[in-house]
Structure 1
Amino acid sequence: MLEELEVKDLGPITQARLTPASGMTAITGETGAGKSMLLNAIGLISGAPAQSARVRPGKESSWAQGVFSLDEGAPALRLVEEAGFEPEDGQIFLARSVPEEGRSRSLLNGRTVPRSLLGQLSEYLVTIHGQSDQLRMASPAKQRDFLDSFAGDRLELEAYRVCWQQLQELETKLAKLSDQQAGAIQQADYLRESINRIDRVDPQPGEDESLKEQRERIEHAAQITQAVTGALAALDSTQLDVDIDAPSVAGLIGQASQSLASAGVSGLFEESIERLHSMNADLSDLVFNLSQLIDPDSQEGDLDKINARIHDLEELKGRWGPTIEDVLGWREQAQFDLEDMDASPERLQALQEECDQARSAALQAAQALSVKRAAAGKALGEQVSRELAALAMAGAGLQVRVRQRAAADLDAHGLDDVAFLFTPFPGSPQLPMGSSASGGELSRLMLAMELTAAQAKGTSPSPGHSRPKSKKSPESGGQLRPAPGERMTFIFDEVDAGVGGKAAVELGKRLAQLAQSAQVIVVTHLAQVASWADRQFVLAKTTGQDAASTSVEEVTGIQREQEIARMLAGSESQTSLDHARELLASSRL
Structure 2
Amino acid sequence: MLEELEIRSLGPIRHAVVNPARGMTAITGETGAGKSMLLNALRLISGGAVPARTVSEGDREAWAQGVFDIAPGGTVDAIARDAGAELGDDGLFLSRTLPAQGRSRAVLNGRSVPRAVLRDLTDELIAIHGQADQLRMASPARQREFLDSYADDAAELDDYRAAWKRLNDCDAKLRAIVEQESETTQRADYLRESIERIDRTAPHDGEDAELKAMRDRIENSAAIMQGVGGALAALDPGQMGVDSETGGAMAMIEQAIHSLQSIGMKGTYAETAERLSSVETELSDIVFTLGGLLEQEDGEGDLDQINGRIHELDELARRWGPTLADVIAWREKAGYELEDLDASPERVAKLTRERDEAHTSAREAAERLGKRRRDAAAELADHVTKELESLAMAGARLDIEVDRRDGLDAHGGDDIRFLFTAFPGAPSLPMGKSASGGELSRLMLALELSAAQKGFSSVSGQDMTFVFDEVDAGVGGRTAAELGRRLARLAENAQVIVVTHLAQVAAWADAQFVVSKRADESDADAVRTTVDEVRGEAREREIARMLDGGETDTSLTHARELLDACHS
TM-score, normalised by the number of residues in structure 2: 0.70
Matched, 1:461 2:457: yes
Equivalent residue, structure 1, for 2:343? 344
Distance of 1:493 and 1:151 partners within structure 2: 28
Q: Is the 8 A contact 2:45 2:64 kept in 1?
A: yes
Q: Is the 8 A contact 1:163 1:362 kept in 2?
A: yes
Equivalent residue, structure 1, for 2:114? 114
> How far apart are residue 176 of structure 1 and its match?
2.5
For residues 96-140 of structure 1, give each alpha carbon's deviation from its aligned partner in whole angstroms, at most 9, with x where no partner exists: 011111110011101001111111111110000001111321221
Q: Is the 8 A contact 2:83 2:113 kept in 1?
A: no
Distance of 2:342 and 2:391 partners within structure 1: 70
Q: Secondary structure at the match of 1:522?
A: strand
Distance of 1:73 and 1:161 partners within structure 2: 26
Distance of 1:439 and 1:414 partners within structure 2: 32
One-letter code aligned to 1:172: A
One-letter code aligned to 2:438: G
Distance of 2:113 and 2:469 partners within structure 1: 29
Distance of 1:368 and 1:419 partners within structure 2: 19
Distance of 1:377 and 1:187 partners within structure 2: 51
Q: Is the 8 A contact 2:85 2:111 kept in 1?
A: no
Q: Secondary structure at the match of 2:16?
A: strand
> How far apart are residue 399 of structure 1 and its match?
1.1
Matched, 1:560 2:558: no
> How far apart are residue 56 of structure 1 and its match?
0.8
Equivalent residue, structure 1, for 2:552? 573
For residues 257-295 of structure 1, give each alpha carbon's deviation from its aligned partner in whole angstroms, at most 9, with x where no partner exists: xxxxxxxxxxxxxxxxxxxxxxxxxxxxxxxxxxxxxxx
For residues 482-520 of structure 1, give each alpha carbon's deviation from its aligned partner in whole angstroms, at most 9, with x where no partner exists: xxxx31100000000000000000000000000001100
1:421-500 paired onto structure 2 within 5 Å = 421-457=419-455, 460-464=456-460, 486-500=462-476
Q: Is the 8 A contact 1:70 1:90 kept in 2?
A: no
Q: Secondary structure at the match of 1:440?
A: helix
> How far apart are residue 90 of structure 1 and its match?
6.2
Q: Is the 8 A contact 1:71 1:90 kept in 2?
A: no
One-letter code aligned to 1:391: L
1:167-206 paired onto structure 2 within 5 Å = 167-184=167-184
1:84-483 paired onto structure 2 within 5 Å = 84-89=84-89, 91-184=91-184, 343-345=342-344, 346-406=346-406, 409-457=407-455, 460-464=456-460
Instruction: Point out where structure 1 has 5 or more consecutive residues left out of the alignment.
Output: 190-335, 468-485
Distance 1:60 1:183, change over 3 A: same
Distance of 2:146 and 2:341 partners within structure 1: 52
Q: Is the 8 A contact 2:65 2:93 kept in 1?
A: yes
> How far apart are residue 461 of structure 1 and its match?
1.1
Distance of 1:52 and 1:350 partners within structure 2: 63
Distance 1:85 1:347, change over 3 A: farther
Distance 1:492 1:429, change over 3 A: same
Equivalent residue, structure 2, for 1:311? none
Q: Is the 8 A contact 1:50 1:104 kept in 2?
A: no
> How far apart are residue 184 of structure 1 and its match?
4.7
Q: Secondary structure at the match of 2:442?
A: helix
Q: Give the superposed CA RMSD.
A: 2.4
Distance 1:548 1:167, change over 3 A: farther
Equivalent residue, structure 2, for 1:70? 70
Distance 1:37 1:350, change over 3 A: same
For residues 172-209 of structure 1, give each alpha carbon's deviation from its aligned partner in whole angstroms, at most 9, with x where no partner exists: 333233221144569999xxxxxxxxxxxxxxxxxxxx
Distance 1:188 1:455, change over 3 A: closer
Distance 1:348 1:84, change over 3 A: farther
Q: Is the 8 A contact 1:44 1:64 kept in 2?
A: yes
Count, aligned residues:
419
Equivalent residue, structure 2, for 1:549? 528
Distance 1:343 1:567, change over 3 A: closer
Identity of aligned residues (%): 55
Distance of 1:582 and 1:504 partners within structure 2: 16
For residues 135-191 of structure 1, give each alpha carbon's deviation from its aligned partner in whole angstroms, at most 9, with x where no partner exists: 3212211111111111111221122222223333332333233221144569999xx
Instruction: Point out where structure 2 has 5 or more consecutive residues left out of the alignment.
Output: 190-333
> Larger C-alpha radius of gyration, 1 or 2?
1
One-letter code aligned to 1:420: F
TM-score, normalised by the number of residues in structure 1: 0.68
Equivalent residue, structure 2, for 1:35? 35
Q: Secondary structure at the match of 1:102?
A: coil
